[in-house]
Amino acid sequence: MSETTAPVTIGFDIGGTNLRAAAVTESGQIVGRLQVQSQGTADSMEDAVVSMTDQLMEQHDVRGMGIAVAGFLDEHREKVRFAPHLPWRDAPLRSRLAARLPIPVSLEHDANSAAIGEAAFGAGREKRTWVLMSIGTGIGAALMHEGEIYRGAFGTAPELGHLPVVPGGRPCPCGKRGCLERYCSGTALAATAQEIAVAEGAPEQLWTGESVIEAARAGNCIGERAIAEFAEWFAVGLSMVVDMFDPELVVIGGGVAKNHDLFLVDGVDKARSLVVGAGHRPFPTVLPAQLGADAGMIGAAEVAWRQLRETQQ
């Protein structure tokens, strides 16, 4: 019982599919959870955040809340500028929620939240300069520099997933072509399997990231080839990260990271040979994320804890 009476902050993870909330203690333990589908208008999503907060406040001693948003925030983390799968556009989400709730509210980008969670309680503990690559539907990325999130001048860095790697390549929902995440993501696995199947004249089948992984595990040749191609592009992406940031650690998160046994060793081996000065420089440690799908919520809750500690000083 002592755990449930410990003070908590609430970490929200607002993704394109689900709106999830967790009550998290100062030591990173999740002691309560709620989840609803994230559909509808900005108003209905904000109503859902308020009602989930109310529910958790009835059960826990809640001191604050943080929200991880899958979208671009302004540099002051007040507004959601743009989110491809969410309804907010240039919306002052932080102040709107703060006006309706009796606790402090903070916003953070979802990949940054996951990196803050991994830094505090997961694979990034005691590391200073490292990169999180979150590989799921697309690629989310965060850069930890000297123990702090690097945001760029206007708050949107780093967008590794949208670096073009194939001129004129696969179209990307971002409006560009040939972006890395079109070749190295769950969505990319499906597209690659589809291309191979068509080239081989294989029977028609609707491929998804999961079905490609299942097929590869079952020894199906299309699945295996799609994974091998994914690993090649993962190596390209990883070598660019190493060339650009020279990190001590790269943490691989996101839905695809659960299947890291299929591609991580091959991908890292290949990436070692692709970096400039290969063989004459240290290569970072590459690890799967430790907090899994909870990293964003735990990180958002940690942002709220930090804000509370700052205001108490």
77 lines the binding site for Zn ion (CB under 5 A) = no
Measured in degrees and rounded to the nearest 5, phi and psi for residue 243 equal -60, -40
In whole angstroms, how close is the CB of 180 to Zn ion at the nearest point? 8
In whole angstroms, how close is the CB of 75 to Zn ion at the nearest point? 22
In whole angstroms, how close is the CB of 137 to Zn ion at the nearest point? 12
In whole angstroms, how close is the CB of 155 to Zn ion at the nearest point? 18
Q: Per-residue string for binding with Zn ion, 114-133, x by CB under 5 A?
A: --------------------
- Assigned token pair, 50: 């308020």
Q: Which amino acid is at 65?
A: M
CA-wise closest residue to 33 among 17, 19, 43: 19
Q: What's the longest Cα–Cα distance across the chain? A: 67
Q: Report, in this order, helix, strand and coil percent for the chain, each rounded to 5.
A: 45, 25, 35
CB 50 within 8 A of CB 100: yes
In whole angstroms, how large is the CA radius of gyration of the chain?
A: 20
Q: Which residue's CB is nearer to Zn ion, number 24 or number 172?
A: 172
What is the signed CA dihedral for 204, 208, 212, 215, rounded to 10 degrees? -60
CB 10 within 8 A of CB 53: yes
Q: Which residue's CB is nearer to Zn ion, number 31 or number 174?
A: 174
Binding residue (CB under 5 A) for Zn ion from 21, 144, 179, 268: 179
Q: Which residue's CB is nearer to Zn ion, number 147 or number 152?
A: 152
Q: Which residue's CB is nearer to Zn ion, number 52 or number 180?
A: 180
In whole angstroms, how close is the CB of 240 to Zn ion at the nearest point? 15
Of 185-244, binders to Zn ion (CB under 5 A) are none
Q: Per-residue string for binding with Zn ion, 158-177, x by CB under 5 A?
A: ----x---------x-x-x-
| Rounded-to-integer distance, Cα 45 and Cα 36, Å | 10
In whole angstroms, how close is the CB of 133 to Zn ion at the nearest point? 15
Residues in touch with Zn ion (CB under 5 A):
162, 172, 174, 176, 179
